[in-house]
Amino acid sequence: MSQLWSTVIRLIASDFPVLYADCLRGEPPEPYERAGIMTPYSPRDLADCPKCDEAWDIEVLELEGKAELFCVCPEHGWNRIDPLILRRWWLHLDPILDRFVEIMEIKGTRTPIMPNLVWKLGRRGQCQLIFVKYCREEHLKAMTAELVKHPKAVIITITPESAERLSITLPNRKFSLVETTQYPPNETLTVDFEKIEAMIAPEAVVPSQSVPRRGNRTVNIEKLVDELKAHYRSAKDHYYNSDGKILPRPSQADLARRIGTRQDDVSRCLNDPDAVLLRTLWKNAEDVRAILNS
Ligand SMILES: [Zn+2]
């Protein structure tokens, strides 16, 4: 993933969505500016001293008819700085959502459900899509109370961490923009449809009634293995993003909902003598070492 996109999309899910020039890491800001995602914001009024990396006041000197900027560090003196490194941009969510809706061919009007946090995006075929900017611990209760009214909607979050948090209370199908979008340098937003389909459409691959029971079981075991592997991945990310806190293992009821089957099927799969990998993943799903080594 482009480093810059990864920074942009995660910063947008914050209360101060301002990108500093040192986050560009060599990628051009122009495509984002053209798309209206980044607009110039007041430049930094402090600069980092190249020797101690601390931020100090800036002085402007007129040298040979040209204004030059200097960082004035009490310890390391005056160091010339490039004004480009002081640039900052305000990041805008709306152009990203507009483009996303267009690519996904979502129909309807974007309407807020909770101000600046949750919107109805519209419909894609039979499916209603709800966008959640972020869900922190303190939002979960209020958000659950709203979203529980839309049990069939697919929930789209920016970060997998928000999706994971909502999964504690809401069985809706979900995916995150961090996991399913790209913004290659000098290009435009792209969406990984295959990944989205895989994350939200389990019933699409549930075999029909005519498939023999044994075949069904094998398919469900594979799906449960995939679900638990996905859980390990989020648990690992979560561990590193939250000072070593560990995610709870999804319940059998959760897993059943995610793969579109009944809870007793999940329990049968877990007890299947052939499901060795599945049982191992299930048993170790709250073991920090197993998660970090996965
Ligand atoms: Zn210094």
292, pLDDT greater than 50: yes
In a shared domain, residues 108 and 70: no
Tell me phi and psi for residue 287, to 5 degrees.
-95, 115
Q: How many domains does the chain have?
A: 3
In a shared domain, residues 194 and 98: yes
CA 168 to ligand 1 center in whole angstroms = 47
209, pLDDT greater than 70: no
Residue 212 pLDDT grade (very low, low, confident, very high; cuts 50, 70, 90): low
Q: What's the DSSP call for residue 44?
A: P
The pLDDT > 90 percentage for the chain reads 62
Supply 130's token pair: 């709800």
Q: Say if CB 101 and CB 61 are below 8 A apart.
A: no
Per the prediction, the chain carries an average pLDDT of 90
In a shared domain, residues 240 and 252: yes
Last residue of some domain: 52, 68, 91?
Answer: 91
Print the domain residue range for 195. Answer: 94-202
208, pLDDT greater than 80: no
CA 49 to ligand 1 center in whole angstroms = 5
The pLDDT tens digits for 52-85 are: 999 999 999 999 999 999 999 999 999 999 999 9
- What pLDDT shows up at residue 291? 86
Q: Say if CB 135 and CB 145 are below 8 A apart.
A: no
CA 61 to ligand 1 center in whole angstroms = 19
In a shared domain, residues 135 and 169: yes
Tell me phi and psi for residue 68, to 5 degrees.
-120, 145
| Segment 219-248 mean pLDDT | 86
| Cβ burial, residue 189 (10 Å; 0-12/13-18/19+) | buried
Give the whole-angstrom CA distance, residue 293 versus residue 42: 44
In a shared domain, residues 193 and 222: no
Tell me phi and psi for residue 193, to 5 degrees.
-60, -40
In a shared domain, residues 122 and 66: no
The pLDDT tens digits for 108-138 are: 999 999 999 999 999 998 899 999 999 999 9
In a shared domain, residues 106 and 181: yes
| Segment 203-219 mean pLDDT | 57
148, pLDDT greater than 50: yes
What is the pTM for the complete model shown?
0.66
294, pLDDT greater than 60: yes
CA 48 to ligand 1 center in whole angstroms = 8
Last residue of some domain: 56, 91, 126?
Answer: 91
- Give the H/E segment covering residue 191: strand 190-191
Last residue of some domain: 167, 202, 237?
Answer: 202
Q: Say if CB 281 and CB 232 are below 8 A apart.
A: yes
Q: Residue 18's beta-bridge partner residues?
A: 90
CA 56 to ligand 1 center in whole angstroms = 8
207, pLDDT greater than 50: no
Please, what is the Cα angle at 258 between 253 and 259, to 5 degrees?
100
Residue 213 pLDDT grade (very low, low, confident, very high; cuts 50, 70, 90): low
CA 51 to ligand 1 center in whole angstroms = 5
